[in-house]
Amino acid sequence: MNREAFTTPDKKYRMKTIVHGWPEQEEVLMDAVREFGYGGVATNPSQENGYTSNPENLKKFNRTLKKLQDRNLAYWIYDEKGYPSGYAGGLALEDYPELEAKGFYMIRRLAVKTKHSEFHLDDESDKIIWAAKYPVDHSVMNASIIEYEKMKPVPFTDTFCECDLKENEAFFIFSVKSAYEGTHLTHNVCSRSRYINIMEEKAVRRFLDVCYEPIAKTSRSAYQNAEAVFTDEPSLMAAYIQGDEVWPYALAPWKEGLFEDFEKEYGYSLLPYLPQIFEGRESSYTTRVHFYDLIGKLVAKAYVTQISQWCHEHGTRFSGHYLAEESLRFHVLYYGSYLEVLKATDYAGVDVLAAYPKIYHYNTTRFAQMASRKKGTNGIMTELCPFIDIPYFEKEPVRYATGILNLLYLGGCRCINSYFSSDFASYAPKVLKDYKGYMSCDQAKWVNNYVGRIGYMLDGVQNDCGTFVYYAIEDAQAKTRPQHCAQESAECDTDRSLLSITRKIYEAGHDYLFADREDLVNAAKSLEADTTVELENDTKNKKEKAVNIVANQNRIPQISGIEVKNIILPAMDEIWPDTWEALEILKKHGVNVMFADKLPANRVGERIRFEWYNFREESIRGPKCTETELFKAMNEEEILAELDSQEEELKLDTIRNGTVEDKKYTEENPMILRAKFIKDNKIIYFVVNNSEKDVKLIWDFPGKEQAEIWDPSDGSVIIAKKGKAIELISYRGKFLVYYKK
């Protein structure tokens, strides 16, 4: 680490400001951006007068990019006229209405007595895609058990089907319609345009043809010189987003060939189990996990992989961010499998709308950080967009934004594209009168230096943390059913558990990373792998195997090269069987496996015929499983106590009235957050005061008598002897650096 490079950070570590529209004298704004300390911009062609279909817009954009380069300002290319990315300002669906986003819904009819049933498609829908009837078992009191394996297809046309129903038969009709009304498309701050189907490769290709290709044809270097492409909130549109509205159709994501895709992926037909996408409890879990896992793969392939490949061919990389990153429920509703989508991108990103630290969602960056860790990229990109509770934010915008920036970098962010704007109008009042913002020139310089120094220190490193929280997406998938109104993350018990446990342990000073099924299975496989070499005779082979068993026992459980000490699982009911087996192996190898509140009783792949329940007792029914031979469920306080009992490398205590209080922090105490990193043979702790008041800290580190304190606030580097107090200003952080032996 170089002190001069820290004090005056390179432009690549500074924020980029987002500019969607340039003034007539665009050079003046560029000069202001540079003067205010930014490293560059994220920008796009003029969104007026035809957007990318207008050659004059493209020529002007090319000139803009060249002027940015002349001023040594980096740039990202923003890929849409507003958002969500994919509709190309309306151009993508022009003359191609068949590429619009679609969803399918279910109509259910039940015959208690013999009857004839007819279904006529309404004028809101496109066509019928499937119809079938099933016998219904009423032998269990208060129950209607659908016999899925006894399905009988019912003939249908695009608009009509009919059948005779026997006593105790159910009739299901499935139809497709546009996914538009009540969705993100009609509830955003940009447009109300219709949108492409991001599961359809042809639709995404059309988006490329009308939005990306015109820029590339006008200037071959436009993308070659871009740091990345910024895509903004592309998503599925089957879910409703406004809680005040109720709609007649509960939609699941649809594309042509979906049923065939499902059978190819899993080796069985979805058709008999199609009602389980929309109804059923434990009996439907496996079908829904398979369905939404497939949806994620289709989105990743059609949208992310296709655009990423195009970007590679044109000399850049694909980045941006997706919708509602904070919640597992939304990961399912908008992507089927959010992580599958993120793994396909070149450089994962998020947006953060929290305007001040008290309302910040820690998991926002950490889900994406998981994808970054898996891919080995240098952290993630964040679109900084103070949006929620702006009146509170405006009391002290610079201080609160700095607090948010600390949290972003603690959680894996290494690149900022910012809507947190500066008062560029003060630079040239006549030319830039419309470019007002929160920060003066001096404030913007300070913030960009602060961010740049943090970025320099954390460049190329990831959190060195032995505690992993399980990304329980299968449980959220299992419990996601299409609804007639907006679904909330608070309705998902997995989300509630995950949010509560991560917030509690993190604010108590324990860093964490997310790990998924793949991580745990691979970690277990590396411990159990048979490294026996082939020998010439059985005696030698047996001896070698015996040695290997001991070697396996001595292996250190690792995920992405990080030693695994703790695995915490949120309250969940459904888990992949190989994940469960991996947890058993990891437990036997010394990993501390902790289940919050209950153990998952169901396994993906199981076919449960029926799970009886009484709705009057449902609210007081306890967990099905709380203990096995190896595992026992714990409440959050017990999990936190277990983490607290583990020896800490760096101990921090606050000073009050000249004394050191030897106790853990509580909500009444200052919130001191930390993350550990290893770089250049040094141990680095980024320590942040996430509190309203300034604090003083005393540090203790085994075997160390002094620490280097690298302060991003002013670029200083000082030596702090053991026992000397370190001052941390409210919503600021400092780096404590120790040399490894």
- Residue 328 CA to residue 670 CA, distance in Å, equals 30
* Structure token pair of residue 107: 């109509």
Q: Are 207 and 199 in contact (CB under 8 A)?
A: no
Higher pLDDT, 139 or 178: 178
How far is Cα 255 from Cα 701, in angstroms, rounded to an integer?
Answer: 57
Is 550 a residue whose pLDDT tops 90?
Answer: no
Type of residue at 699:
W
More confident residue, 631 or 610: 631
* pLDDT confidence of residue 740: 86
**What is the dihedral sign for C-alpha 329, 335, 336, 339?**
negative
Q: What are the extents of the domains in the chain?
A: 3-95+185-238+292-457, 102-178, 467-644, 648-739
pLDDT band at 536 (very low <50, low <70, confident <90, very high): very low
Q: 274-283, pLDDT tens digit by residue?
A: 999 999 999 9
Average pLDDT along the chain: 93
Structure tokens at 308: 């990423």
Cα–Cα dist 324/661, whole Å: 40
Quote the tokens at residue 714. Answer: 């002013």
CB-based contacts of 695: which residues, under 8 Å, 6+ apart?
654, 655, 670, 672, 689, 727, 728
pLDDT mean over 633-639: 97
C-alpha span between 490 and 500 (Å, rounded):
11
Where is average pLDDT lowest: 159-163, 240-244, 526-530, 719-723?
526-530
Would you say 82 and 89 are in contact if contact means Cβ atoms under 8 Å apart? yes
Percent of the chain scored above 90 by pLDDT? Answer: 88
Dig out the tokens for 550 from the structure. Answer: 């001991």
Q: Do 408 and 350 touch, CB atoms closer than 8 A?
A: no
Scanning 163-305, the segments in alpha helix (DSSP H) are 201-207, 213-218, 221-224, 258-266, 285-299
Q: In angstroms, what is the C-alpha Rg of the chain?
A: 28
- Distance from C-alpha of 139 to C-alpha of 162, rounded to nearest angstrom: 27
Cα end-to-end distance, the chain, whole Å: 17
Q: Map 505-519 to HEC letters.
A: HHHCCCCCEEECHHH
pLDDT tens readout for residues 31-69: 999 999 999 999 999 999 999 999 999 999 999 999 999
Tens digits of per-residue pLDDT, 568-578? 999 999 999 99
What's the token pair of residue 420?
């947190």
The pLDDT, as a whole number, for residue 546 is: 44
Query: Please, what's the largest Cα pairwise distance for the chain?
Result: 89
pLDDT at 620: 65
268: phi then psi, degrees, rounded to nearest 5: -145, 160
pLDDT at 548 over 70: no
pLDDT digits (tens, 9 = 90+) for 325-348: 999 999 999 999 999 999 999 999
Q: What is the pLDDT of residue 663?
A: 44
Q: How far apart are CA 158 and CA 128, in angstroms?
A: 5
Are the CB atoms for 305 and 208 separated by under 8 Å? no
pLDDT band at 489 (very low <50, low <70, confident <90, very high): confident
> In the structure, what pLDDT confidence band is assigned to residue 608 with cuts at 50, 70 and 90?
confident
pLDDT tier at 405, thresholds 50, 70, 90? very high
Q: Which residues contact 646 (CB under 8 A, 6 or more apart)?
A: 565, 566
* Cα gap 600→479, rounded to integer Å: 13
- The 10s digit of each residue's pLDDT in 8-35 is 999 999 999 999 999 999 999 999 999 9
Residue 152 has pLDDT above 90, yes or no: yes
Which residue, 719, 469, 705, is CA-closest to 570?
Answer: 469
Fold adopted by 648-739 = Immunoglobulin-like (2.60.40)
Domains 102-178 and 648-739 share a fold: yes
Q: Select from 1, 4, 15, 2 the least CA-distant residue to 449.
A: 15
Average pLDDT over residues 535-542: 46
The predicted model gives 477-506 an average pLDDT of 95
pLDDT value at position 609? 81
> Distance between CA atoms of 442 and 440, rounded to whole angstroms?
5
Prior bond to 397 cis, omega within 30?
A: no
> Residue 552: what pLDDT?
55
Cite the DSSP H helix spans in 390-490.
390-393, 397-410, 441-457, 473-478
What pLDDT is recorded for position 619?
63
* pLDDT score at 541: 53
Lowest mean pLDDT among 524-528, 643-647, 657-661, 716-720: 657-661
Rounded to whole angstroms, the Cα distance separating 3 from 708 reads 11
Q: Residue 554: what pLDDT?
A: 66
Q: Would you give the distance in Å from CA 360 to the centre of its chain?
A: 15
Interval 190-232: pLDDT, tens? 999 999 999 999 999 999 999 999 999 999 999 999 999 999 9
Total residue length of the chain? 741
How far apart, in whole angstroms, are the C-alpha atoms of residue 11 and residue 306? 30
Beta-bridge mates of residue 684: 677, 737
Which top CATH class is 3-95+185-238+292-457?
Answer: alpha beta
What is the distance between the alpha carbons of residues 261 and 269, in angstroms, rounded to a whole number?
10
pLDDT band (50, 70, 90) for residue 615: low
CATH (one of 3.40.1000, 2.60.40, 1.20.272, 1.10.540) for 102-178: 2.60.40
Measure the CA angle with vertex 115, ends 114 and 117; round to 5°.
145
Beta bridge partners of 418: 17, 384
